[in-house]
Structure 1
Amino acid sequence: MGGGECRSNDYGAAAYWDARYSSPSPSSTATTGGGGGGGAFFDWYQAYPALRPLLRARLPASSRVLMLGCGNSLLSEDMVKDGYEEVVNVDISSVVIEQMREKHMDVRDMSLFGDGTFDCVLDKGTLDAMMCGDDAPLGASKMLAEVARILRPGGIYMLITYGCPKERVQLLYQAGSHKKIELYIMPTPGYQLKWSKGVSLAQPIMEEVSLTVDGQLPPDYVLKDPESHFIYICKKPDAANEANSVVANEGETITSK
């Protein structure tokens, strides 16, 4: 799933993932490429060490975190080992859930969870998979509406995706409650940034990029790695801030009459 495009409609189907997770895997651990079958651990896109600086900066260890489409990633386990106290995993595949012993759930309907019950929802590739489903983008919109519902006021939805702002920002705003979106860009794990002096860095470098007023990349911005991952931090407004915003808007309306 590179470049934000959908390469297979199967990615949105539970049957595809059940078959994938049931198949033998030649490797027990991986961070990119195909794999993850037969109970082997597999991390899509980025592993915890690369994401840790951003997670630790944004999420206190006491945060209640929902891992959306957990698959058989080690991300949740690594977070718990690093001090996070409550990480809940859900996935559409009953096979991988049996392997991981977590919750089987379709992310388009998370009615098992009450409103405002999570401080953070982490999504590493699940929205990308939903955009490949037969009902995309409707299924993706349903998922994002559920994310907005279960987040507490002030909570964040952290999306790690191949989708550039042109392909994702409008969809995120349509969810209704994500009023503030920040963007970070990170090269793929296998990519090395090469400096003019010939020095290369093996570690991924996360770069914060300011979106334009219409939610797009700056016109002069050039991706260092064409297959970079986009990390969106979408913050749900605090209840008090939302109320103040409504009052301010009403005041502006009255004044303009």
Structure 2
Amino acid sequence: MPEKVRKQEAASVGPIAAVRDWVGELLTHYGSQEYWERRYQKEPCAFEWYQGYAGLKPLLNQYIAPDANILQIGVGTSSLQEAMVNDSYKRILNVDCSETVVEHMKERHRGLPSLVYKVLDCRDMSCFASGTFDAIIDKGTLDAIVCGENSVADAKQMLLECSRTLRSDGVYMLITYGDPRSRLCHVDNAELGWDVIMYYLEKKESPDNLNNDGHGDSKRHMYGPYSSLNGDDVNFLCGLQDVHFAYVCKRK
């Protein structure tokens, strides 16, 4: 939108409404592949959405075995997968719709054969057979998709693909800022064929929550499990502020 037009609209609707419209317009870009391609061309440096390995280690260890066949969707410039293979995990396939970021990450981790990178739109993973993966990690990808213009349909298609490519008893693990009011409508769907368990995590990995090796202490950082079928659990989680949420979706 031209700046002159934006200022005219701001004057007519008021400053608060103008800012709200601008933020809404910005968030819509998060659902666009073109936005992420441009962003990674300008900002190839590492960026960690939500939680690092220290915060997620207890949850990952609980649900994902070290020798599991793992897919991470919408990897971006995350360092999570590097920390995982440097700890105990054997192999992780990382995909992103941005060719720029995939090439950057291939170069960055060329000395780590356990990490593989591939350009892929997670709404269409037909290159993978059904039941390929033991675990799928999503740290911000669904969040980006639900900001797009076709958010409901695109989110459903992505989640159906995740469900299809998971083995029986496999897990789709979503790390997000979204509370159950905004995320259960997507992930708690009978068509997906999984059960949903919820956790919340403190945003900051404070020194008191870290062990000598820098890894998190689940007793003080991660809370749960909570059931998506329990109304009291859902209401409690919806009342929390300044936390992240984890939805562990276990394939039946």
Instruction: Provide the TM-score with structure 2 as the length reference.
Output: 0.76
Instruction: Give the Cα–Cα distance (whole angstroms) in 2 for the partners of residues 212 and 61 of structure 1.
Output: 27
Q: Deviations over 1:23-62 (max 9, x none)?
A: 1xxxxxxxxxxxxx1x311110000111011111211111
Contact 1:145/1:175 (<8 A) preserved: no
**Structure 1 residue 182: deviation in Å?**
0.7
Which stretches in structure 2 are left out of the alignment for 5+ residues? 1-22, 107-116, 211-219
Aligned pairs (5 A) from 1:96-111: 96-101=101-106, 102-111=117-126
> 2:100 is matched with which residue: 85, 91, 95?
95
State the shift of 1:227 in Å: 2.6
Taking structure 1 as reference, are residues 125 and 67 closer, same or farther at Cα in structure 2, changes over 3 Å only? same
Contact 2:135–2:172 under 8 Å retained in 1: yes
How many percent identity over aligned positions? 37
When residues 219 and 90 of structure 1 are mapped into structure 2, their CA distance, relative to the original with a 3 A threshold, is closer
Correspondence for 1:150 among 147, 159, 165: 165
Q: Classify 1:16/1:220 alpha carbon distance in 2 versus 1 (closer, same or farther; 3 Å).
A: closer
* 1:221 CA drift (Å): 5.6
- More helix as a share of residues: 2
| Aligned residue pair count | 210
Name the counterpart of 2:128: 113
Alpha-carbon contact 2:209-2:221 (below 8 Å) kept? no
1:135–1:79 distance in 2 versus 1, CA, 3 Å: same
* CA–CA distance in structure 2, aligned partners of residues 180 and 143 of structure 1: 17
For 1:212-227, list aligned pairs within 5 A.
213=229, 217-219=233-235, 226-227=241-242
> Which of the residues 57, 76, 84 maps onto 2:81?
76
Pick closer, same or farther for the CA change 1:40–1:14 going to 2, 3 Å: same
The amino acid of 1:207's aligned partner reads: Y
Could you tell me which residue of structure 2 aligns to residue 29 of structure 1? none
Please name the residue that 1:236 is paired with: 251
Check whether the contact 2:196–2:228 (CA below 8 A) recurs between aligned residues: no
Specify every segment of 5 or more residues in structure 1 that has no aligned partner in the other structure, as ranges.
24-36, 193-199, 238-257
Deviation of the 1:202 alpha carbon? 5.8
Question: Does the 8 Å contact 2:180/2:237 carry over to 1?
Answer: no
**Taking structure 1 as the reference length, what is the TM-score of the superposition?**
0.75
Instruction: State the alpha-carbon separation in 2 of the partners of residues 220 and 59 from structure 1.
Output: 27
Q: Cα RMSD between the aligned structures?
A: 2.3
8 Å Cα contact 1:130-1:136 kept in structure 2: yes
Alpha-carbon distance in structure 1 between the residues aligned to 2:54 and 2:194: 29
Is the contact between residue 196 and residue 247 of structure 2 (CA under 8 Å) also seen in structure 1? Answer: yes
* Structure-2 separation of matches of 1:176 and 1:22: 37
2:159–2:192: 8 Å Cα contact kept in structure 1? no
Q: Name 1:205's counterpart in structure 2.
A: 221
Instruction: Please say if 1:11 is aligned against 2:16.
Output: no
1:174 is aligned, of 175, 181, 189, to: 189
Matched, 1:49 2:68: no
Q: Deviation digits for residues 65-94 of structure 1, max 9, x if unmatched?
A: 000100010111111111211100000111
Aligned-pair distance for 1:173? 2.3
